[in-house]
Structure 1
Amino acid sequence: MAINIKYIKDMMLLYAVTDRAWVGKQTLMEQVEDAIKGGITCVQLREKELDQEAFLAEAMEMKALCSRYGVPLIINDNVEIAIKCNADGIHVGQKDMETGSVRSLVGDNMIIGVSVQTVEQALAAEKAGADYLGVGAVFSTKTKLDANTISHETLKEICKAVSIPIVAIGGISKSNILELSGTGVDGAALVSAIFGVIDIELECKSLRLLSQKMVKSEQ
């Protein structure tokens, strides 16, 4: 692999996943820029409703924004969009394209993240060429209603089973992020805890400090 594992581990620390449910007073670009200023280490652009043309236009604009600040951009699910906008990575779920097929399309220099819930899924994704895993939901979440929660014991087992970086996702907020201390994760992915607040920049500054504290407990 041409991708540095430490680089990926570092970008897991405070991983923002977009959701236009909170777009209103600010545009999505303004929200993401505030989050970047607050210290997020990665942006995943997730769009379930836009058509291909609108999604690509948004992805190109988001890529330019992220590049300006040196923050990696990951596209959720859509391999074609990820390639066309020259994203840093692509994230796929268990019901999306198989990891090996994604790798054959994007080449060795694009980061691939895979959502998993079991040790078996984690090992399979790593073997197929995933660069990192998203594990969850670690808490109940209203953002993804079909997400099943997994125990922190299972999270620990997954972290021990693989050698690639892991980001926890699902219902994580300022009030519970430190409960993930000692699980072995490299960071936390958040949606509403970032984009559902009034002052995104200030909130991200607090969340980054908490995530650093959570991750340091592993060392």
Structure 2
Amino acid sequence: MSKPVVDYSVYLVTDSGLNNPSRTLLQSIEDSIKGGVTLVQLREKDLDTAAFTALARQVHAVTKKYNVPLLINDNLEVALAIDAEGAHVGQDDTTCIEARRKLGPNKILGISTGTPEEARKALADGADYIGIGTCYMTQTKSPKRTLGPIGVRAILEALPAEAAMRTVVIGGIKEDNTYRTVVHSAGKNGRVLDGVAVVTGIVGAKDAKVASENLLREFRAAVDLVSGKSVASSPPPHKAVDAVLREFPSLLKTLREKSPLTHHISNYVVMNDTANATLALGGSPIMAPSAAEAEDLSKVVSSVVLNIGTLTDSFVDCMLVAGKHANAQHKPVILDPVGAGATSLREATTRRILNHVHVDIIKGNAGEIATIAKLVGCETEAIAMRGVDSVGGGFADPANVVKAVAKRERCVVAMTGKVDYVSDGERTVAIDNGHEYQGRITGSGCMIASSIASFAAISPNDHFAAAVAGILALNLAGEHAAARSDVRGPGTFRAAFIDEMANLKPEDLLNEARIRVL
């Protein structure tokens, strides 16, 4: 018998202890296969070999009925006894080489991996596929750390693009994170996950068939997007930068007419400033750092700002919940990773947000963007941080840095400084407007994030335009404020800055912009 051809798209891993009590495990498996499960692994940690073998025979009868391969977890004796299509082993179990020797050449063999080194070894040792995890926190395991899409991507990129070994991700995979996980883990070497391995999301679901159908739909949509096969879900073609600039006056008019509501999870130091800046520009802020109301707010707000300036457990929890619900409601999420490179906590929090939330626009200074570049695997210079400010020189090629991070994270990146740079991975510009007083008051960068969020709320199809307009609007307000005769330094500038946001004319965004296309 030759080795079976396997579709890894939706890979069910069973757990009797988590199975929905409304049905038996066998019913759960059959319903899930009817819904689209393409591969089943029977995992029963608490059964002895005899009981495990008896259950495996029953399960195999179901899977063979639908021509779906069955793999046995960690027990090669059971796999051989029932002539299962293969087995899966963990890092602490039988070695891949020994498992292959026992199973023979015509059985499917998978192994759990959590690092690039383990993945490369699995390839060298002859595994047919690897289970990459743990991706997110899960009920079935208590991992010391989770990989998230960023960690999964690092493992995919450790494998040659041409390698035949397949890859699946496991750990906390559910319908609401499948699409983002697959898209954001895609490697620059062209490798994309071959499947998602799911436990609770199927066996614990009220309807295993529906859960499997939804998972398969989300997985296939993500693969189509990454591979370029998706037409319906692809964004409209990008407008040229000059066409974007011509629309800035109408964007400001629309902002003031609609006054979109923006949910801010911001830091205590600048909360009043960012709220006032949002109001002055024409938007409407709500400062709500409680996770308990994030879901309700996601239905009425038009955008969300995640600002990590004040790091408390409750703030971070709220950011993760608000980001998740904003993603579900297709509302733009703006991340302001304040001081991301200053402490290990801030760096870890930034990574956690990027792993759990699809961020549409990242706004940061050079040090913060350098930290994110490192987190997501873009090679660049390190930029020193002092508190929340970057210090020393900037990037040798800032335009390429923001472009690389934007392309890597499939979002817009805005890097602020003496010159501001914005890129969506294809279009990149430098903004030369602004005044030095903006860097001499607390919160000017946070106000820019709020401004970007307001423009993103009324520019849902072009976050690049929103980021450029948001920065430009506040930079022009800064120039106008500094030119006033009543401004004598940073203190008087602060009040004038807010005034000039309100006084900004739509045509100013076109007539006074100093923007270079790079």
Smaller-chain TM-score bracket: over 0.9
Which residue among 67, 79, 87 is the counterpart of 1:70?
67
Task: Note the C-alpha offset of 1:199.
Answer: 1.1
Tell me whether 1:211 sits opposite 2:219 in the alignment: yes
| Aligned residues of 1:135 and 1:167 also touching (Cα < 8 A) | yes
Which range is displaced more, 177-186 or 35-44? 177-186
1:53 is aligned to 50
CA distance in 2, matches of 1:100, 1:35: 32
What whole-Å deviation, never above 9, does each CA across 1:112-134 have from its counterpart, x for those lacking one? 00000111000111111100000
CA distance in 2, matches of 1:214, 1:41: 17
CA distance in 1, matches of 2:215, 2:150: 23
Tell me whether 1:118 sits opposite 2:115 in the alignment: yes
Task: Note the C-alpha offset of 1:214.
Answer: 1.9
What whole-Å deviation, never above 9, does each CA across 1:176-216 have from its counterpart, x for those lacking one? 11111142211101111001111111111111101111222
What whole-Å deviation, never above 9, does each CA across 1:122-156 have from its counterpart, x for those lacking one? 01111111000000111111221246311422311
CA distance in 1, matches of 2:112, 2:145: 12
Give the TM-score taking structure 2 as reference length. Answer: 0.40
Task: Note the C-alpha offset of 1:12.
Answer: 1.3
Unaligned runs of 5+ in 1: none
CA distance in 2, matches of 1:217, 1:142: 30
In structure 2, the residue corresponding to 1:25 is in which secondary structure? coil
Equivalent residue runs for 1:34-113 within 5 Å: 34-113=31-110
1:159 is aligned to 156
What whole-Å deviation, never above 9, does each CA across 1:69-107 have from its counterpart, x for those lacking one? 010101000011011111111001100000000011000
CA distance in 1, matches of 2:200, 2:223: 21
| Corresponding pairs, count | 214
Matching residue's letter, 1:80:
E
In structure 2, the residue corresponding to 1:66 is in which secondary structure? helix
1:179 is aligned to 180
Task: Note the C-alpha offset of 1:159.
Answer: 1.4
In structure 2, the residue corresponding to 1:44 is in which secondary structure? strand
> What's the % identity of the aligned pairs?
37
- Using a 3 Å threshold, how does the CA distance of structure 1 residues 191 and 126 change in structure 2: closer, same or farther? same
Task: Note the C-alpha offset of 1:23.
Answer: 5.0
CA distance in 2, matches of 1:93, 1:115: 5
| Aligned residues of 1:134 and 1:167 also touching (Cα < 8 A) | yes
Task: Note the C-alpha offset of 1:160.
Answer: 2.5
Unaligned runs of 5+ in 2: 186-191, 228-518
Matching residue's letter, 2:177:
N
CA distance in 2, matches of 1:42, 1:189: 9
CA distance in 2, matches of 1:121, 1:201: 34
In structure 2, the residue corresponding to 1:65 is in which secondary structure? helix
Tell me whether 1:18 sits opposite 2:26 in the alignment: no
In structure 2, the residue corresponding to 1:218 is in which secondary structure? helix
CA distance in 1, matches of 2:60, 2:205: 23
- Using a 3 Å threshold, how does the CA distance of structure 1 residues 80 and 148 change in structure 2: closer, same or farther? farther
- Deviating beyond 3 angstroms after TM superposition, the runs of 4 or more aligned structure 1 residues are none
2:238 is aligned to none
Task: Note the C-alpha offset of 1:218.
Answer: 3.0
Higher relative contact order (CA closer than 8 Å, sequence separation 6+): 1
CA distance in 1, matches of 2:87, 2:122: 14
